[in-house]
Amino acid sequence: MKKTIFVAVIVCFIATSYAFMRDETPKYENLKVLPKNTNKHELDSIMKHFSRALGVKCSHCHVRSTEGKKDFIFASDENKNKLIARSMFKMMNKLNKKYFKEDNEEHKNKGELTPTISCFSCHHGQEHPENTPPAPPDHKG
């Protein structure tokens, strides 16, 4: 009996802290490929992935305000790389859904955020992914 109450208290605690976290979710203004209810933790980790995967800074895809020149206007679509990134994201989703379904389910079951095909799979820290493998070490000519 005691145990049941204890479990119920824990469940209740998790439920309320979860609701509390959701409450803190900022309302991003201009999400077109990510889910509208993406929370700050998820968005930060996705943006870090984008940046590291391409070896760039936030400014590669986001414009700054013309007055301050320091503050980003993250919701703006003025930077063309942001638009390219959106279409890349759609392509990435298609590849994962169509060709790597089971593999992605395994990732999900392990609680991993990053899908099988990620930006890094192709970009490997570069803006422009390479399409030719390096020559073998003993290659002459």
Residue with smaller CB distance to ligand HEC, 17 or 48: 48
What token pair was written down for 103?
């593999």
Residue 7 Cβ, how far from ligand HEC at the closest point, in Å? Answer: 38
Residue 102 Cβ, how far from ligand HEC at the closest point, in Å? Answer: 19
Q: Is 52 in the site for ligand HEC (CB under 6 A)?
A: no
Q: Is 115 in the site for ligand HEC (CB under 6 A)?
A: no
Give the one residue of 39, 85, 107, 114 binding ligand HEC; rule: CB under 6 A: 85
- Cβ-based neighbours of 3, under 8 Å, separated by 6 or more: none
CA dihedral 117, 123, 129, 134 (to 10 degrees): -90
What token pair was written down for 127?
């803006």
Which range in 6-14, 98-106, 117-125, 132-140 contacts ligand HEC by CB under 6 A?
Answer: 117-125
Query: Which candidate, 116, 62, 64, places its Cα nearest to that of 94?
Result: 116
Please calculate the CA angle 118-47-90 and round it to the nearest 5 degrees. Answer: 45
Give the one residue of 7, 8, 11, 58 binding ligand HEC; rule: CB under 6 A: 58
CB count within 10 Å of CB 42 equals: 14
Which range in 9-17, 59-67, 98-106, 107-115 contacts ligand HEC by CB under 6 A?
Answer: 59-67
Q: Is 100 in the site for ligand HEC (CB under 6 A)?
A: no
Question: CA quadruple 60, 55, 95, 29: dihedral positive or negative?
Answer: negative
Give the one residue of 32, 94, 101, 108 binding ligand HEC; rule: CB under 6 A: 32
* 61 and 53 Cβ atoms separated by less than 8 Å: no
Which residues in this chain contact ligand HEC in the complex, by CB under 6 A? 28-34, 43, 47-48, 50-51, 54, 56, 58, 60-62, 74-75, 81-82, 84-86, 88-89, 92, 117, 119, 121-123, 127-129
